[in-house]
Amino acid sequence: MQKNNIKRKSPVSGFLDKIFYNKYKKKREGAIRFYDMSSPLVKIACAAIFLICAAMIIVAVFPAAWAILAGFKDLKEFVTGKKILPVSFSFAGYAKTWESMKFARYYLNSAIAVAGGVVCAVLFNGLLAYVLGILRPVGHKVVFALVMWTLLIPPTTSVVAQFVNIHKVVEFFNKLAGLDSMNSFFNVMPLWLIMGANAFWLVLFKEFFESLPKDYTEAAQLDGCTDLGVFTKIMLPLSMPIVVVVSIFAVTAAWSDFLLPNLLLSNSEWRTVMVRLFEFRTAIKVTEIDKLHAVVFSIIPPTIMFILFQRQITRGVTVGGIKG
């Protein structure tokens, strides 16, 4: 039967085998294997599946790519044009929106919010994970149970009471320092600190710490290193893979968040990119093309981060098994 196959092979199918089907020799997961290629039906199915997967790439990338390309249109072209792609490519439109909306300032504000948020996310969740996973003092089981219970309650559902709490404390500090309550930097700090209370990231840290060999920490303790010293000098440097994963999750979360930032920073000079974007919901004066430009500005930093760290990110998803 195999002999038959070889005899019948046309040059075209031989070429297809070479560029496409031979690669299935290495396939070890899923139902289809190379030995199924003797059936033409399976060969057609494989080609169809590949085309569908290629279509997935297009669907996944198209909306963002369209937004960036359509941003080159001018207002009239964008509102009344019947073509998907712009007629000409000029950065003038982007530059105009960037200038007139003062996006540089929002970028700076977002950068401040993100940087502080990442530090808090790694530091506070890491410290608690270190205590619960390695030091294990009296009562660590109760604390861990409490933390795990918070996984039961999605954060968005207590957003009202959370905001009420934050508002009270921020107002208290503003009064204490005699600051203008709209533009005070105390409004930004809750956005940092809230990243330090994330049960998902805490569990990621804890599991990683527990998988590290105990020798290092014990040796350091014998050398008279304090518990905090062991964390900063040994645990964190050894845990860079998970620190990177949590940092990436934290950057994405901090950059994309707008609910709490909008409540805390509306009309403030510390407004982030997302708060500005959210304001378009009720803004009347903004033109459609300005709106599109602003959206593009908001997706560029995460896109750059994604291109730089794509491997860590896609691996992090399967390690963490959580939705980012």
Partner 1 sequence: MTAGARGGNLQKKNRIQKNISAWAIMLPTLVLFAFFIWEPILESIRLSTYRGIGVDFSRLRFVGLDNYRLMFIDPNFKAALSNTFIYILWSLIIGFFVPLIMAALISETAHLKSAIRVAIYFPNIMPGLATAIIWTFLFRPGPTGVLNIILGWLGLAPFNWLSARGWTIPLIITTMTWKSAGSTALIYMAGIAGINPELYEAATIDGAKPMRRFWHITLPGLLSLGKTMLILQIISVFQVLYEPMMMTNGGPNNKSISMMMLVYQYAFRDFNYAMGTTISVFICLILAVLTIIYFALTRKVSNE
Name the residue nearer to partner 1 (CB basis): 197 or 234.
Answer: 197
Kindly identify the residues of this chain, within the stretch 154-213, that bind partner 1 according to CB under 8 A.
154-169, 193-194, 196-197
Task: Determine if 75 is a binding residue for partner 1 (CB under 8 A).
Answer: no
The single residue among 2, 80, 88, 267 that binds partner 1, judged by CB under 8 A, is 80
Name the residue nearer to partner 1 (CB basis): 7 or 242.
Answer: 242
- Segment contacting partner 1 (CB under 8 A): 171-179, 210-218, 238-246, 301-309? 301-309
91 CB-near residues (< 8 Å, 6+ apart):
72
Secondary structure element (H or E) that encloses residue 210, with its range: helix 199-211
Task: Determine if 292 is a binding residue for partner 1 (CB under 8 A).
Answer: yes
Number of residues engaging partner 1 in binding (CB under 8 A): 110
Length of the chain: 324
Name the residue nearer to partner 1 (CB basis): 7 or 57.
Answer: 57
- Segment contacting partner 1 (CB under 8 A): 21-29, 98-106, 206-214, 239-247? 21-29
Give least dist CB 249 to partner 1, A.
10
Task: Determine if 116 is a binding residue for partner 1 (CB under 8 A).
Answer: no
Measured CA to CA in angstroms, residue 114 lies from 21, 70, 215, 272 at distances of: 46, 28, 35, 10
Query: In terms of Cα–Cα distance, which of 197, 188, 304, 322 is closest to 249?
Result: 322
Name the residue nearer to partner 1 (CB basis): 7 or 59.
Answer: 59
Q: Which residue has the tokens 């050894």?
A: 238
Task: Determine if 254 is a binding residue for partner 1 (CB under 8 A).
Answer: no
Task: Determine if 82 is a binding residue for partner 1 (CB under 8 A).
Answer: yes
Question: With the C-alpha atoms ordered 187, 190, 192, 195, is the resulting torsion angle positive or negative?
Answer: negative
Which amino acid belongs to residue 292? L
Give least dist CB 50 to partner 1, A.
5
Name the residue nearer to partner 1 (CB basis): 20 or 185.
Answer: 20
Helix axes 240-256 and 103-130, enclosed angle (nearest 10): 140
266 CB-near residues (< 8 Å, 6+ apart):
275, 279
Do 203 and 269 meet the contact criterion of CB atoms below 8 Å apart?
A: no
- Segment contacting partner 1 (CB under 8 A): 86-94, 99-107, 233-241, 274-282? 274-282
